Amino acid sequence: MSLIITETQNAIGTIVMNHVAKRNALSEALIGEITTALDGFREQAIRAVVLRAPAGTKVWSAGHDVSELPSGGRDPLGWSDPLRVLIRAIQEFPAPVLALIEGGVWGGACEVAMGCDILVATPEATFAITPAKLGVPYNLGGLLTVMNMIPLPVAKEMLFTAQPIPVSQALNLGVVNYVRPADEIESFVHGLAESIVANSPLSISVMKEELRLLSSARSITPELFERIQGLRRIVYDSQDYQEGIAAFSEKRKPRFLGR
């Protein structure tokens, strides 16, 4: 059974993440279906994509599928990790991807949403960035996505508390473009997509790629990169990392000992 529902209409492609039983946890299987759908949209010269969960959902996505995180000794968010693959696929898609957000957005799903080009959410939406809750060392590219979207004090609050922030704060910060009630959001997002589709797809795709390249342009020395990777390794080699994952799968609170 497919984990997504797709639709195309008037150069607008819609992807509904539909693995409700696992709260749209971003598993390799779900991500594979999303990226395959994006490849198909690219071939069909789709000019705007809407990424959403089923209408009325309480959880947009529960983030990385924790059961697929490596048990230790390997970077849990390396280049080829499915979550990283999905975020790149969205950021590199040659047309705007609009996130239609209802419900809770957890962990790596926040970065998926922030990797989209335009975000529209319902008043009940929340955003929680959760690596600290699991003992995961978020990766460089992921933190850059967060830094590009959220002022540092708020990014630190979200990363260090792992607590959800309300959509009102996300709107104030400019993380979310609009908030619309559940009974209006679909037509509102469709209206935005139609206004995009009416414009030059070449101009838009090139400007999207220019903005991606410019927002990721950072001078980073090999020494700085190696130091950061060394620091991250201390975390994913730690007992705390093992404890965070074990606690999640055993449905209990983790006991972090700082080693």
Q: b/e for 75-107, b at 16 or more Cβ within 10 A? A: bbbeeebbbbbbbebbbebbbbbbbbbbbbbbb
CB of 124 to ligand LCV, least distance (A): 13
x-or-dash pattern for ligand LCV, window 18-57, by CB under 6 A? ----xx-x--------------------------------
Q: Is 138 a catalytic residue?
A: yes
Q: Which of 41, 60, 93, 106 binds ligand LCV (CB under 6 A)?
A: 106
Task: Name the closest residue to ligand LCV (Cβ).
Answer: 107
| Active-site choice (108, 115, 135, 142) | 108
- Other CB atoms within a 10 A radius of the CB of residue 49 amount to 26
Name which of 49 and 247 has its Cβ closer to ligand LCV.
Answer: 247
Rounded to whole angstroms, the Cα distance separating 108 from 129 reads: 7
| Active-site choice (103, 104, 138, 142) | 138
Asked if residue 104 binds ligand LCV (CB under 6 A), the reply is yes
- CA distance readout (Å), 124 to 4, 48, 93, 106, 186: 23, 25, 28, 14, 15
Asked if residue 64 binds ligand LCV (CB under 6 A), the reply is yes
CB of 31 to ligand LCV, least distance (A): 12
Rounded to whole angstroms, the Cα distance separating 60 from 40 reads: 23
Q: Which of 47, 52, 84, 133 binds ligand LCV (CB under 6 A)?
A: 133
Asked if residue 88 binds ligand LCV (CB under 6 A), the reply is no
Q: Which of 46, 134, 185, 192 binds ligand LCV (CB under 6 A)?
A: 134
Name which of 6 and 130 has its Cβ closer to ligand LCV.
Answer: 130
Name which of 66 and 121 has its Cβ closer to ligand LCV.
Answer: 66
Q: Is 241 a catalytic residue?
A: no
Bridge partners of 24, per DSSP, are none
Name which of 13 and 137 has its Cβ closer to ligand LCV.
Answer: 137
Burial tier of 253 (Cβ tally within 10 Å: 0-12, 13-18, 19+) = exposed
Asked if residue 65 binds ligand LCV (CB under 6 A), the reply is yes
Q: Is 142 a catalytic residue?
A: no
Name which of 66 and 95 has its Cβ closer to ligand LCV.
Answer: 66
> Are the C-beta atoms of 53 and 102 separated by less than 8 Å?
yes
Asked if residue 164 binds ligand LCV (CB under 6 A), the reply is no
Name which of 30 and 192 has its Cβ closer to ligand LCV.
Answer: 30
Selection from 152, 149, 107 nearest residue 126 by Cα: 107
Contacting positions for ligand LCV (CB under 6 A): 22-23, 25, 59, 62-67, 104, 106-108, 129-131, 133-134, 136, 138
